[in-house]
Amino acid sequence: MRTGFQEELDRVEGLLQEEGALVLRSLRGAVNAVQENDHELSDEVIAFDDEVDRRYVQIEEGIQLLLARQTPVATDLRLVLAMLHINLHLERMADYCVTIAKLTKLAPEVDPNPRLLEGFEEMGSRAEEMIRVALDSFERRDLAGAESLVDLDELIDRANRRVVEQLLALGAEPELREYGLRMVLVSRALERIGDHAVDIGEQTAYLLTAEFREFTDASHPTPREA
Partner 1 sequence: MSQVETMSESPAAPVTIGDVAVQQAPAAEAFDVRGRDVVFDVQDVTVSYDDDPAVSDVSMKIYKNLVTAIIGPSGCGKSTFIRCFNRMNDLIPSARVDGLIDYHGTDLYGSSVDPVEVRMRIGMVFQKPNPFPKSIYDNVAFGPRVLGMKDDLSGRVQRALEQAALWDEVKDRLKRNALSLSGGQQQRLCIARALAVEPEVILMDEPASSLDPIATTRIEDLMHGLKENYTIVIVTHNMQQAARVADMTAFFSVETAADGAARTGILVEYDSTKRIFTQPSDKRTEDYVTGRFG
Q: Does 1 bind partner 1 (CB under 8 A)?
A: yes
Nearest to 89 by CA among 31, 138, 141, 156: 138
Nearest to 149 by CA among 124, 130, 136, 135: 130
- As measured in angstroms, the least distance from the Cβ of 7 to partner 1 is 13
Q: Does 143 bind partner 1 (CB under 8 A)?
A: no
Distance CA 224, CA 212 (A): 23
**Interface residue with partner 1, options 54, 65, 69, 75 (CB under 8 A):** 75
Q: Does 73 bind partner 1 (CB under 8 A)?
A: yes
Q: Does 67 bind partner 1 (CB under 8 A)?
A: no
> What letter would DSSP give residue 50?
H
Nearest to 15 by CA among 61, 47, 81, 76: 61
CA distances from 146 to 39, 172, 200 (A): 35, 42, 8
Q: Does 208 bind partner 1 (CB under 8 A)?
A: no
Q: How many positions of this chain bind partner 1 (CB under 8 A)?
A: 13
**Interface residue with partner 1, options 20, 62, 72, 119 (CB under 8 A):** 72
- As measured in angstroms, the least distance from the Cβ of 70 to partner 1 is 8
Q: Which stretch binds partner 1 (CB under 8 A): 1-9, 40-48, 138-146, 155-163?
A: 1-9
